[in-house]
Structure 1
Amino acid sequence: MAFVWHKWLRKSIRFPSTSRALFTLKSDPSQEIIKSPPLLSLDLPDVWTSNSKYFDPPSIRECTNECSARVIDGKLVAEKIRAGIAAEVMRMKESIGKVPGLAVILVGQRRDSKTYVRNKRIACEEAGINFVMAKFPDTCSEDEVCEALSSFNENPSVHGILVQLPLPHHLDEEKILNELRLEKDVDGFHPLNIGNLAMRGREPLFIPCTPKGCVELLLRSGVDIMGKRAVVIGRSNIVGLPTSLLLQRHHATVSTVHALTKNPEQITCEADIVVTAAGVPNLVRGNWLKPGAVVIDVGTYPLEDSTSEYGYRLIGDVCYEEAVAVASAITPVPGGVGPMTIAMLLVNTLDSAKRAFNFS
C-alpha cells in the first residue's frame, strides 16, 4: 500500500494572546460557538517523571464485525456552530450597524474549487456575513491576482480574505499568499500564524480552518486528546502540518505518516486518534486501525458520477466500510470535516471583524 501511495503522489509581530476568545451568545452565555479554548490556556509545563515499568507493546487484535463505529456528523455540528455565528452577526449589526465581510479569490475552473467557493458563499449569506468574490481565468497573471488581493487588503468592509487553493501551476502560490495582510488571513496560512501555532507560549491570530474543525469535532465528540497517541497522515502546509501542531498543543503524542514512511500501517494502528489528509482514495484500510480508534477523514477525492448533481461524488482516504467495523467513531465523506472547515472559516471571519470593530 505504501508503494501505491508513492506512485500516486508522483503522478498526480506577535499579537495579543487572548484575542482569539470563545464567542458566546449574549442570550445564552453557556452556549459556546466553539469548544476549543485559546491555546495559551492549554500550555502546561513539561514535568517528566521516571517510569521503570516494563513496557509490553500491545498486539494488534483482530477486528470483528460485531462493532460499528459511531458516525461523527460534521454537518450537524457545523449547523449548530453556524446558527451561533448568525446570532452574533445579528447582535453586531443591531449594536453597531456593522457586519463581517469575507472576500474570496477564485482562479480557474476546477469543479471542486468552484463547489467549495459556492458552499462558502451560501454559508456566509445564511450567517449574514457579506461575501464578495474576484474570479480569474486559468490564464491570468500574478499581477492581476495580487492587485485584487491588494484591493481587498485596503477595503475596511472586508475582514477576511482567502485565496482558493490550489492555484494554477504558473502562479507563485507563496508570493501571492505573502501579499495577504496578517489581520485578514482567516485561512491561517500566513507564516506568522503557523509559526505562533508551533510555539508554546504563543497564540496565532487565526488557526487554519480544517485543522481547527478536526479538533472541534474531537472535542464535541467527547474525545480526550491529552496524552493520547495521534497519527496524522499527510504533511501538507494546509492540513497535515498544522493539524500535527494543533494536536501537540492539545498535548497529544503525535506521529506524522507521509508518502516516504516505511510501514505506515504499523505506525497508524498504534494510534488512538487518526487524522488522514492524504487525498488518496481508500488508502487507510481496516487493518491500519487500532480497535476503538477515532478516525477523522479529511481526504476528498472526486469520482466521476453522471448520476450526481455536479457530475462527481466524493470519497475519502479511509475505506469506510472496513473502518466502521474497527473504529469507535469516524467522520463520513462527505458530511464530516468539510462542513466544519466552512464553519471555522466563518468563526475566524467573525473573530476578525470583532477585533476590527473592538466589539465584544
Structure 2
Amino acid sequence: MEGSTIILDGKALSENIRQKIKEEIQSYIAKGLRQPCLAVVLVGDDPPSVVYVRNKRKACENVGIKSLLYHLPYNTNLSELLELIAELNAKEDVDGILVQLPLPKHIPMEDVILAISPKKDVDGFHPENMGRLLGRLEGGFIPCTPLGIDLLLKHYQIDLKGKDVVIVGAGFIVGRPLSALMLWRDATVSVCHIHTKDIKKYTLEADILISATGVPHLIKEDMVKEGAVVVDVGISKVGDKILGDVDFEAVKNKAYAITPVPGGVGPMTVSALLLNTLQAYRRNLGKEHQP
C-alpha cells in the first residue's frame, strides 16, 4: 500500500470550515447584528492549557467570534468560579462558555460542568448534551473532539455503517462521547481502556481504529489491520518532538487512511468548538435570523 495511503488532513479541512464560518458571521454583521461571543475561563497557569486557550481565542478572532478571557488565579475556590459561571449564564450577549480543563485539583470538575447552562455548553459536556448524544436527539452540542473526528471522516467519505470501530481510551472528553457518536453513525463499537486484557486482540479487528490515550506510540504496526483507517487523537511532547499515540511512520503504509500528528485531529477540535459557538449564536438570534 506504500504511497497510496490517504492522509486525513485536518488542517486543510479546518481552514475550509473556518472560512465558511467567517463568511456566515460576516453576513450577520452586515445585517447590523452583533458578533458571536465565547467566554473562556482559565483557572491557573497550566502551560498546555495556556497554549490551548491562546489557540482557541486566536481561532475565534480569525473567524469573527468575540472571545472574552477570564483568567483566574490557581487558588480560586469553587464558589468563586460558580459565581462567575452564573454571571456568564445570565449575559444575553455571551453565546458560549468554555471552562478550560483540567481544573486545579481542589475544584470538582462535575460541579463546574453542571453549572454551565446546557444552551451555552459549547464543550458539550453537560449531562443534557451528553444525554442528547446518547439518545440520538438533535439539538444538543456534541463534544468538540468527537465532532471534529466525525467531520473529518465524513469529508473523506469514510463510511461507518456496519464497520468495526475500536476506540482506545475511555475518557470523559473523547472516548465515551465518541463511542456514542460512532453508534449514532451505525458502527459496531468497542472501547478499550486501562483494564482491557488484550488491547491488540481488539485493534487487529478494527476497520477504524481511534486512539485517545496520550501514550506516545502506544499503537504499533503489528496492532493494526491491513487497510484500516487510523485516527490518532493523542499528542505528547517527548524531548523536542510532538508524538501521537500511533507510530505514524511504521503504521502509515499499512493503513488505508491515517491522521498525522500534528495537523490531524487537533485543528478539527478547534473548528468544532467554533461550529458549536456559531450554533449557540444562531439559537440566540432566533429563527428569523437562521441561514
The 2-side partners of 1:198 and 1:96 are apart by: 38
| Partner Cα distance (2:269, 2:67) in 1 | 17
For residues 200-232 of structure 1, give each alpha carbon's deviation from its aligned partner in whole angstroms, at most 9, with x where no partner exists: 4x2251110100000111010111111111001
TM-aligned CA distance change 1:303 to 1:138, over 3 Å: farther
Give 1 or 2 for the bigger CA radius of gyration.
1
| Range that drifts further, 258-267 or 145-154 | 145-154
Residue 196 of structure 1 corresponds to which residue in structure 2? 132
Q: Which deviations, in whole Å up to 9, do the C-alpha atoms of 1:233-266 show, x marking residues without a partner?
A: 1111110001000010000011111111111011
Residue 256 of structure 1 aligns to a residue whose secondary structure is: strand
* Map of 2:236 onto structure 1: 301
How far is the alpha carbon of 1:129 from its aligned partner? 0.5
CA displacement at 1:190 relative to structure 2: 0.4
Whole-angstrom distance in 1 between the partners of 2:76 and 2:239: 28
The counterpart of 1:161, out of the listed 87, 97, 111, is 97
* More displaced stretch, 143-152 vs 169-178: 143-152
The correspondence for 1:145, drawn from 81, 85, 95, is 81
- For 1:218 and 1:244, the matched residues in 2 are separated by 14
Counterparts of 2:45 and 2:14 in 1: how far apart (Å)?
27
Partners of 1:99 and 1:126 lie apart in 2 by 12
1:351 aligns to 2:279 (yes or no): yes
Kept after mapping to 2: 8 A contact 1:293/1:328: yes
Match of 2:23 among 84, 87, 91: 87
Alignment of 1:110 with 2:46, yes or no, is yes
Q: Normalising by the residue count of structure 1, what TM-score does the alignment of the two structures yield? A: 0.78
Match of 1:282 in 2: 217
Equivalent of 1:76, from 12, 17, 20?
12
* Alignment partner, residue 322 of structure 1: 250
What is the rounded CA distance, in whole Å, between the counterparts of 2:113 and 2:247 in structure 1? Answer: 34
Equivalent-residue separation in structure 1 for 2:239 and 2:160 (angstroms) = 37
Note the aligned Cα RMSD (angstroms): 1.3
Partner residue of 1:213? 148
Instruction: Judging by fraction of residues, say which structure has more helix.
Output: 2
Residue identity over aligned pairs, in percent, reads 44
Q: CA deviation at 1:143?
A: 1.8
Structure 2 gaps, min length 5: none
Indicate yes or no: 2:196 matched with 1:245.
no
Maintained 8 Å contact 1:227/1:251:
yes
> How far apart in 2 are the matches of 1:264 and 1:68?
27
1:303/1:315 contact within 8 Å kept: yes
Residues 227 and 255 in structure 2, CA contact (< 8 A), matched pair in contact too: yes
List, as ranges, runs of 4+ consecutive aligned residues in structure 1 with deviation greater than 3 Å: 65-68
Work out the CA distance in 2 between the residues paired with 1:75 and 1:204: 27
Asked whether the equivalents of residues 67 and 326 of structure 1 are also in contact (C-alpha less than 8 Å), the reply is: no
Counterparts of residues 36-47 of structure 1 (less than 5 Å): none
Read off the aligned partner of 1:160 and give its amino acid letter.
Answer: G
Please name the residue that 1:179 is paired with: 115
Q: In 2, distance between residues paired with 1:194 and 1:315?
A: 30
Q: Is the 8 A contact 1:103 1:162 kept in 2?
A: yes
Which residue pairs with 1:19 in the alignment? none
The 2-side partners of 1:244 and 1:331 are apart by 19
